[in-house]
Structure 1
Amino acid sequence: MAKAELPRPYLRRLALHGSLNTFVKDLAEEQLVSQYPFSTDDQAKLASDSLISDYLSDLGVVDQASLDQWCQKYLIDSPAQLAEFVRYQVKKKLIVQRLLAENGETAFLKFKDRLDRVLYSVIRVPSEALAYHLFYALDHGEITFSDAAERFSDGVESRSAGIVGPVDLCTPHPEIASRLKRGRPGELFEPFKADEWFLVVSLLYRFESSYDDISRRTLGQLLFSAKVAEFMPEVSKQLLRTHLASTPV
């Protein structure tokens, strides 16, 4: 790995503001891209005469004024820097495409909880007796969920008529998520305890994900990030060794 260009005072500032890990991740990404075994077809794409123009066209950068503005945004000062930047971005895209081709469908099943979305209603109260009272009143149509949430819920959902979402299934409390996973739209769940609260939950709607372009984009980034993470421990060690050895504290 090439020595980090930032001197120790700037690294210390990154650490102070909680951004050093992001910098390490960026270095790990550079290492992944530089070491990745691109195929012959990939190498041909990277050597294409239209690589830069095609990339800029896809971004909507179609005239000199927009190009100048775009280059200023990324601190690009020369054609060589422009070519280097575009090649790097295209390499990342090719890596994502390869990872999806090799692992995309398996990753879809693994991360489906992050891709599915649910819309649900919840009431949060401190008393089990009150939770059951509201549950039976809701079940018999004696009160609407929105009225019950606004009047009795102690959570922030009291300000949204009890409605939460759409969110992925990794976002709710695990006790809520476990019921939403197996529930049917319109189902009212019997009260249960989660942390210090007793909850009444109803599943309103489930947005099932499919292995489409939107899911593939999300999965591609997840797979790419996982690959970058494999390089981070060693990159972090090398960065620390380099600056401890070369710069006094």
Structure 2
Amino acid sequence: MVDFSAISLENQEVIDFLRRDLRLKSIYQEIISQKIVSQVAQEQALSVTAEEVQAELDKIRYENYFEHPAQLLAWLAEQMSTLSDLQQRIYERLLSQKLARHLFSEAAQNFFSQHRSEFEQALIYRIKIPYESLAYEVFYQIEEEELNFFEAAHLYDANESRRLQCGYAGKQQRGEISPEIAERLFNAQIGEVLGPFKNADNTYELFLVDEIFPPTLTSTLYESLLNQMFQEWIENRLDIYISSLRPSQDTERS
């Protein structure tokens, strides 16, 4: 691995490169977002303990197979970073997580309760067929038991990876499927073949529902809702922050 630690670059060189590479805005956004998090967390009396930071450090050592602290330090040096930098980054990440839970834990649970049906899941198989006439022909062959759905998927599905899995599309939430199709799918009998449904690209699809799963607020779904709400809040606070700077900037220009 190339060691960059001996290379010296002027700060302006780095900024100019990031500007040319169209990454400067995102870095500004991340820095200001972290300032907002730190300020609001302080207002809410939230903090991260040294023990919590150390626990995350131990995870990093375990995940990277660093048996000794010296290996972690050597790896950080290769990244042109320090243990203090890593500890600060861990602190900031944990603080953001605590603030997200503090602000939106109840809201995430309420959103799930109010939109339960959107999180209903179905284990489905599907066949995408490029022509309407062929789609109906395949459908009638399945109906007449001339071939089963899985054989038809293996023969006709235009999606190659799905064709190799005989139409298997996995679990999908109701909210991820167009409303008119979702209404049929989630009211279908298990094993019932539905379609053909016309897609926006003028292809046609057949569906088979293998299993229906009631909506459940899993830890993964909870974290997803929490993160979405937190990111929307951050974006709103960023807009407020930037707007607050504009009058003074306009005054300076005049």
Q: TM-score, normalised by structure 2?
A: 0.69
Q: Does 1:56 align with 2:63?
A: no
Q: Check 1:192–1:54 CA distance in 2 against 1; reply closer, same or farther (3 A cut).
A: closer
CA contact (8 A) 2:122 2:173 kept: yes
Query: What is the deviation of 1:182?
Result: 4.1
CA contact (8 A) 1:99 1:223 kept: no
2:134 corresponds to which residue? 130
Measured in 1, the distance between the counterparts of 2:159 and 2:167 equals 9
Q: Specify which of 177, 188, 191 is matched with residue 186 of structure 1.
A: 191
Q: Check 1:161–1:52 CA distance in 2 against 1; reply closer, same or farther (3 A cut).
A: closer
Measured in 1, the distance between the counterparts of 2:79 and 2:213 equals 37
Alignment of 1:186-225 (within 5 A): 186-195=191-200, 196-225=202-231
Deviations 1:107-147 (A, max 9, x none): 32477688654332222334434333322322342211122
- Which stretches in structure 1 are left out of the alignment for 5+ residues? 241-249
Number of aligned residue pairs: 233
2:171 corresponds to which residue? 166
Alignment RMSD (CA, Å): 4.0
Q: Check 1:49–1:204 CA distance in 2 against 1; reply closer, same or farther (3 A cut).
A: closer
Q: Check 1:13–1:187 CA distance in 2 against 1; reply closer, same or farther (3 A cut).
A: farther
- Compare 92-101 and 24-33 and name the one that shifted more: 24-33
Measured in 1, the distance between the counterparts of 2:25 and 2:208 equals 40
Q: Does 1:85 align with 2:89?
A: yes
1:243 corresponds to which residue? none
1:228 corresponds to which residue? 234
Deviations 1:21-79 (A, max 9, x none): 64354234313313314466624xx3x45343344245556841354256447654254
Q: What SS is found at the alignment partner of 1:216?
A: helix
Measured in 1, the distance between the counterparts of 2:46 and 2:135 equals 60
Deviations 1:213-234 (A, max 9, x none): 3322222222222222224446
CA contact (8 A) 1:28 1:228 kept: no
